[in-house]
Amino acid sequence: MDASKIDASKINAGDRALDGAEVGRLRQALDEQEQRSLRLLADFDNLRRRSAREQDAARRDGRRVALLPLLSVLDTLERALAVGSTDPAFYEGMAATHRQFMTALREAGAEPVDSVGQPFDPSIHEAVATSPSDSVEPGTVVRELRRGWRLGDELLRPAQVVVAAAPKARDPWR
């Protein structure tokens, strides 16, 4: 058989088979690429949402880091004011500083935690002592030793409190 004589119909059939395989391969590759794009799009959306959340968290974290050490400064100022002074003019200057301090903390988004008279709440109160009482319900906060602060929905630091315990039962033998 003459090698130069080619059976055209066979070549066509061969090409035909090749094209068919190529179509299959391409369809699969296209399908994979489409799936990949969809996953990337979903990842992208997730990242965008997470990024917005993380930005809010970072902003709050920045405020928290800045405010926490300053709360102790306010504590010191309040302890000194509680002692009082023999110099009324100077004392008034410090009382004004204190009022401005409270306002600045509120401007920064911090709010004092309610404690005295409230039911003890372990999510915002830290009980450092109990005290028997017959004037208030057991479990009520009767004294605040250190003010607690919130920052938005978060707790900056818990209030340190004394909680009412049930009054001691009277000794029936006395």
Burial class (CB in 10 A: 0-12, 13-18, 19+), 27: exposed
- Burial class from Cβ neighbours inside 10 Å (0-12, 13-18, 19+) for residue 101 reads middle
The 30-69 contact track toward a copy of itself, x by CB under 8 A, reads x--xx-xx--xx-xx--xx--x--xxx-xxxxxxxxxx-x
The distance of closest approach from Cβ of residue 17 to a copy of itself in the complex, given in angstroms and rounded to an integer, is 10
- Subset of residues 98 to 127 that bind a copy of itself, contact rule: CB under 8 A: 100-101, 103-105, 107-109
Phi/psi class of residue 150: alpha, beta or left (left: φ > 0; alpha: ψ in -120 to 50)? beta
Sign of CA dihedral 79, 84, 85, 89: positive
Q: Scan residues 143-162 and list those touching a copy of itself (CB under 8 A).
A: none
Six token digits for residue 167: 């009054």
Q: How far apart are CA 157 and CA 147, in angstroms?
A: 8
Give min distance, CB of 154 to a copy of itself, in A.
12
By the criterion CB under 8 A, which residues form the site for a copy of itself?
Answer: 9, 12-13, 15-16, 19-20, 22-23, 26-27, 29-30, 33-34, 36-37, 40-41, 43-44, 47-48, 51, 54-56, 58-67, 69-70, 72-73, 76-77, 79-80, 83-87, 90-91, 93-94, 96-97, 100-101, 103-105, 107-109
